[in-house]
Amino acid sequence: MKKELIFLGPPACGKGTQTNKLSEYLGFPHIDTGSLLRAEIAKKTEDGKIAKSFIDKGQLVPVDLVGRIIGKRLSENDCQRGYVLDGYPRSLEQAEILEKINSDLDEEKADFKAIYFDIDTQILIDRIVNRQSCPKCGEIYNKKFKPSKIENICDKCNVELKTRADDTEEVAKARFDTYYRETAPLVEFYENKNVLYKINANGSIDEVWQRLLDIINK
């Protein structure tokens, strides 16, 4: 049976790491909206040109345009057995568009799951405010959870690690407030359809991975 997997979760919850891993494990494409939009813009497709016109003005790309780009991607051959969709939907309107896309594409009943990465906000704030990255190789560290061997120095490149200017507790709390406010209706939407699965996202990558596999194999 075709597996249609979408993922919900606040910033820094770890779903990006897990969805990439899951995509490789299942042999399904990993699709995220940001990368998809950038690809359309880079290829200079008609939809890409329209999306760029909004982005260049600092405006949100219209919901129907994003839906059209998502629908086109999900219709491709590599999505026949299933897909791992990250970062979409982000609103009830987008959830309804995705339902219509799946309904149009699916020839038979599919296994649809909305997986919500549930984690305490304070843990996420600790992850963000302690986050560091290497400006050369891009390796991510965390002063509290995954420190470099030499303080503030990349293990691989031996260069000084950087911290993003907006990785502050104040900014992080504002991001989470916005996320939970916008996502709460979406969680309820999928709960009412009995397709929402909550996963405890607090733990090591391997621990969360095992919990994810338990859900996928249900």
- Report yes or no: 53 and 40 within 8 Å, Cβ to Cβ: no
Catalytic residue (choose from 81, 144, 146, 164)? 164
Catalytic residue (choose from 2, 15, 127, 211)? 15
Closest CA to 142 of 152, 133, 153, 131: 131
Site of tokens 């990250």:
86
Catalytic residue (choose from 90, 136, 143, 162)? 90
Catalytic residue (choose from 2, 127, 131, 211)? 131
Query: Would you call 15 a catalytic residue per the annotation?
Result: yes
Alpha-carbon distance of 181 to 183, in angstroms, equals 6
Q: What is the four-CA torsion angle of 101, 102, 107, 112, rounded to 10 degrees?
A: 180
Query: Would you call 211 a catalytic residue per the annotation?
Result: no
Phi, psi values for residue 168, rounded to 5°: -115, 160
Query: Would you call 90 a catalytic residue per the annotation?
Result: yes
- What would the 3-class secondary structure string for 176-206 be? HHHHHHHHHHHHHHHHHCCCEEEEECCCCHH
Catalytic residue (choose from 52, 136, 175, 198)? 175
Tokens at 83, concatenated: 């897909």
So which residues are the catalytic ones?
15, 90, 131, 164, 175
